[in-house]
Amino acid sequence: MRRIKRIGIITCGGDCGGLNAVVKSVTQTAHSQGLETMVIPNGYAGLYNLIDIKSPTFLTPGRVDLIDANLAGSEAGHSRVKISKIQDPNKYERIKKGLQRFEVDGLIISGGDDTGSVMVELAEQGIRCVHVPKTMDLDLQPYSVGGDSSLNRIAQFTEELKTTGLSHNRIMIVEVFGRYVGHTALRGGIGAEADCILIPEVPVNFDVVYAHMKQRYMDRVERSDVRSGTYTIVVSEGIKDAGGEHIYDQSAGADAFGHRKLTGAGKYVRRELEERMNRDPEVKEFMKKKGLFVPGVYELPEIREVVPSHLVRSGHSSVFDINFGKEAGAAAVRLLLSGIDGITVVKVRGRKIYYMPTKEAIKQRSVDLNVVALFEQQGICFGREPRMYEPEFIKAEGEIERHL
115-126 per-position pLDDT tens digit: 999 999 999 999
pLDDT of residue 401: 74
Average pLDDT over residues 244-258: 67
pLDDT of residue 257: 59
How far does CA 132 lie from the centroid of its chain?
A: 15
What is the model's pTM?
0.93
Residue 258 above 70 pLDDT? no
What would the pLDDT profile of 319-352 be if each residue is shown by its tens digit? 999 999 999 999 999 999 999 999 999 999 999 9
Average pLDDT over residues 274-296: 96
pLDDT of residue 363: 96
pLDDT of residue 259: 56
CA distances from 201 to 133, 178, 377, 390 (A): 23, 11, 18, 19
Residue 56 above 70 pLDDT? yes
Average per-residue pLDDT in the chain?
94
Instruction: Report the share of the chain in percent with pLDDT over 90.
Output: 89
Residue 263 above 90 pLDDT? no
